[in-house]
Amino acid sequence: MTPPAAPTVESVRAVLKTIFDPEIHLSILDLGLIYDVAVQSDGKKGHRVNIRMTLTTPACPYGPALLSKVHAEVGAMPGVSDIHVDLAWIPPWDPRTMASDEAKLKMGMFELDDDDEETPAAPGAPGGKKGI
């Protein structure tokens, strides 16, 4: 019998992408609630997964359920022998900077930055005019 494949950071992140915040209806990965994922051999036949994450607020009513779901789903992955979830509050969650573009769009928070686009300059004119 071959041993289970070792979990990778990418495979753990793929599992975390399937866990949804029940109020916002977006994955905890897309929301930016996952700060870090690390996978280490436990020195035996398995791997320890360390996850550093936060919640939308310290008073999140679904916090315990989300943490339990992370433990259950990642712990059920082949090759995972142990999981440790570090709940962090620093930096505080900010969807404007931490959420994926897809999540920002779904939350109605996607902002177009006027400084990102330039109007082309007329031939022979120095530079372009900012704006859309």
When pLDDT is cut at 50, 70 and 90, the band that residue 25 belongs to is very high
Strands 80-87 and 118-119, bridge-based pairing? unpaired
Does residue 108 register a pLDDT over 90? no
Q: Please tell me the predicted confidence (pLDDT) of residue 128.
A: 46
Higher confidence at residue 55 or residue 111? 55
Question: Does residue 132 or residue 9 have the better pLDDT?
Answer: 9
- Read off the pLDDT of residues 66-106 as tens digits, 9 standing for 90 and up: 999 999 999 999 999 999 999 999 999 999 999 999 899 88
Residue 38 lies in a domain: yes
pLDDT in tens, 27-71: 999 999 999 999 999 888 899 999 999 999 999 999 999 999 999
Predicted model pTM:
0.78
Q: Residue 130 pLDDT more than 50?
A: no
Percent of the chain with pLDDT over 70: 80
Tally of domains in the chain: 1
Q: For residue 40, is it within any domain?
A: yes
Q: Read off the CATH number of the domain in which 19 is found.
A: 3.30.300.130
Residue 57 lies inside a defined structural domain of this protein? yes
At residue 115, the pLDDT reads 55
pLDDT at 1: 52
Angle between helix axes 9-16 and 63-75 (nearest 10 degrees) is 140
**What residues make up the domain containing 74?**
9-110
User: Is 39 in contact with 48 (CB distance < 8 Å)?
Assistant: yes
Decide if 72 is inside a domain.
Answer: yes
Long-range contacts of 59-68 (CB under 8 A, 24+ apart): 62/21, 62/22, 62/23, 63/87, 65/22, 66/19, 66/21, 66/28, 66/33
Q: Report d(CA 93, CA 28) in Å as an integer.
A: 12
Q: Is the pLDDT of residue 20 over 90?
A: yes
